[in-house]
Structure 1
Amino acid sequence: MTTAALEPRAARRCCTMLNSLHATHYFSPELSEELGALGVTHRRAANFAVRSAALGPVGAGTVTATFYNYKHELVARHVPAVWEIASPQDVLAARARAVDASMRRLLGADTVASGELAEAARLALRATEACSRSGRPLYSAHADLPVPEEPHLAYWYAGTLLREHRGDGHLAVLLAAGLDGLEAVVTHTATGKGMAPKWVFATRGWSQDDWDAAVERLRERGLLDAAGELTGAGVALRAEIEAETDRLDRAPYEHLGADGVARLTELAAGFAGTAVAAGAFPADLIGRS
């Protein structure tokens, strides 16, 4: 283990690159096919089932709490009913098959079998050795799952752990900042880096009225201006949120060390870029409109 100092945003960049590949499976036709074969045909039901399956057959309250930015009424339409269609164990197996197929399609057989991907898997798994279970339910549940033997699946698994580890910490920071789930999304979208409103409405269950009400609450707090842009206070709050999230998520990357983080980021950026170029995400997913 090394204690070399990390550049302030190095951990964030590394996790972002890892998450960029992890997130592709939520949009993959392979996931829809695998879940559909189990009888889970509604996309929202599939999304809730896939990400929460590691927790076991949980109810809507647990999913809403751990996912944070979904409208509870949408979650409750599909959870726990989805577990009557497919067990969490079957969903996890279907997810693994979908990830395998989608990674092979997006990255290509040569990359999947490459030494670089095997190296990235080793580095990412090493980083997970310093993750903490305390207060991190989604990370902890996924950490109970076995490490896949194939390097590309082990890389994806480690990326999942690092994503959920950062995500669980991020939710604690959002809660401390006084932002509810939709307010967190609205402020993130206002940075220009978050999900476009049309996708929030389609995937998170919120309506335009809900969005407008959240915008008004944020204006009253001085975080958004009349045009819906972040004010100086809003920019500062988002910066504080990310900085505190970084602080809570430093341990895995400090454990890996500066050189390891730099190499993992380089490899992960290459894999993510290949996947994006192959059409892994909808073109209009990110933005303000």
Structure 2
Amino acid sequence: MTTVTLAPRAGRRCHNVLNSLHTTHYFAPELGRELAALGITDPRAVNFAVRSAAAGAVGAGAVTAMFYNYRHTLVADHVPAIWETAAPGAVLAARARAVDAALRRLLGPETLASAEMAEAARLALRAAEACSRGGRPLYAAHADLPVPAEPHLAYWHAATLLREHRGDGHITVLMAAELDGLEAVVTHTATGRGMTPKWVRGTRGWSREDWEAAVLRLRERGLLDADGELTERGGLLRTQIEADTDRLDRAPYEHLGAAGVARLTELGAGFARAALTAGAFPADLVGKR
């Protein structure tokens, strides 16, 4: 078998731009409206429903395990009760309608009907062919869903597959690094690239006391300093975590090949920039404070 050599972090960069467009729907008003029509109105319940529906009417324990960085008591407040309100199939259909509407608003109908979007869908689906189900429950659940016919929805579907494939592998790496779910987001926030503590606590169910206790544990391990910043050891650990995640996630991008990865990254970056310019994300979402 011929080994494809990619530029360092090429797969990660490709994933990041695809994931940027995938993530927009979590902040889209269209998603809230679609789920409200089914009777699910709490934003956190919406998140649990749309992301786990592909796995069926799973319980709180399974959702906590798959999502990893959410407080279990918050998950249990909403799961499995959400499935009594709306069946997983209805949630998936509502999610697809919301994604369609949000992408039309953020990118415009001309972009959605463009040759570039069709090309991006083909490339992303090609990469996803090399994803593996073993040990990757969220990816495996979404991989069982049909590929949408419309190119922009097929592209979004493929981006979802690649996002969940990498995410499942990332959890494996975090566990090997002995970082629990909250410690993982605290250290990620400390890099300046994760969500702010306000967003983490508000969406993941952690209290300020939970956060401070995690910070203390990380200080005792020498990963954070007295100001809550990553120490040299902490920075090296985060770098190694991303490198190990890249290693576990390399198959889709090696399968696509260097030229395909470069082209998909170029196309995906253009779509992501357009969505960002259109106001896809809250201004205070990312940062340390």
In the other structure, the counterpart of 1:270 is: 270
Q: Secondary structure, in 3 states, of the residue corresponding to 2:41?
A: coil
Q: Structure 1 residues 203 and 116 mapped into 2: Cα distance closer, same or farther (>3 Å)? A: same
Q: Secondary structure, in 3 states, of the residue corresponding to 2:61?
A: helix
Runs of 4+ in 1 over 4 A off after TM superposition: none
Q: Report if aligned partners of 1:117, 1:152 keep a CA contact under 8 Å in 2.
A: yes
Corresponding letter in the other structure for 1:74: L
State how far apart, in whole Å, the 1-side matches of 2:140 and 2:198 are. Answer: 32
- Aligned: 1:205 with 2:205: yes
State how far apart, in whole Å, the 1-side matches of 2:86 and 2:127 are. Answer: 33
- Aligned: 1:233 with 2:233: yes
- Aligned: 1:101 with 2:101: yes
Corresponding letter in the other structure for 1:188: H
Deviations 1:64-122 (A, max 9, x none): 00000000000000000000000000000000000000000000011000000000000
Corresponding letter in the other structure for 1:129: E
Q: Structure 1 residues 277 and 2 mapped into 2: Cα distance closer, same or farther (>3 Å)? A: farther
State how far apart, in whole Å, the 2-side matches of 1:278 and 1:2 are. Answer: 42
Corresponding letter in the other structure for 2:54: A
Question: What is the TM-score when the length of structure 2 is the normalising length?
Answer: 0.99
Deviations 1:48-76 (A, max 9, x none): 00000000000000000000000000000
In the other structure, the counterpart of 1:22 is: 22
* Structure 1: runs of 5+ lacking an equivalent: none
In the other structure, the counterpart of 2:37 is: 37
In the other structure, the counterpart of 1:151 is: 151
- Aligned: 1:163 with 2:163: yes
Q: CA deviation at 1:4?
A: 3.4
Corresponding letter in the other structure for 1:255: H
State how far apart, in whole Å, the 1-side matches of 2:120 and 2:66 are. Answer: 28
> Identity across aligned pairs (percent)?
76
State how far apart, in whole Å, the 1-side matches of 2:11 and 2:210 are. Answer: 34
In the other structure, the counterpart of 2:248 is: 248
Question: What is the TM-score when the length of structure 1 is the normalising length?
Answer: 0.99
Corresponding letter in the other structure for 2:221: R
Q: CA deviation at 1:3?
A: 4.3
Corresponding letter in the other structure for 1:153: L
Q: CA deviation at 1:2?
A: 7.3
* Structure 2: runs of 5+ lacking an equivalent: none
Map residues 110-121 of structure 1 onto 2, 5 A cutoff. Answer: 110-121=110-121
In the other structure, the counterpart of 2:187 is: 187
Q: Secondary structure, in 3 states, of the residue corresponding to 2:52?
A: helix
State how far apart, in whole Å, the 2-side matches of 1:178 and 1:201 are. Answer: 21
State how far apart, in whole Å, the 2-side matches of 1:130 and 1:245 are. Answer: 16
Corresponding letter in the other structure for 1:13: R
Aligned-CA RMSD value: 0.9
Q: Report if aligned partners of 1:3, 1:257 keep a CA contact under 8 Å in 2.
A: no
In the other structure, the counterpart of 2:285 is: 285
State how far apart, in whole Å, the 2-side matches of 1:147 and 1:201 are. Answer: 34
Corresponding letter in the other structure for 1:78: H
Q: CA deviation at 1:5?
A: 1.1
State how far apart, in whole Å, the 1-side matches of 2:29 and 2:194 are. Answer: 23
State how far apart, in whole Å, the 1-side matches of 2:3 and 2:122 are. Answer: 18
State how far apart, in whole Å, the 2-side matches of 1:214 and 1:58 are. Answer: 28
In the other structure, the counterpart of 1:81 is: 81
Q: Would you say how many aligned residue pairs link Structure 1 and Structure 2? A: 289
In the other structure, the counterpart of 2:173 is: 173
State how far apart, in whole Å, the 2-side matches of 1:80 and 1:2 are. Answer: 46
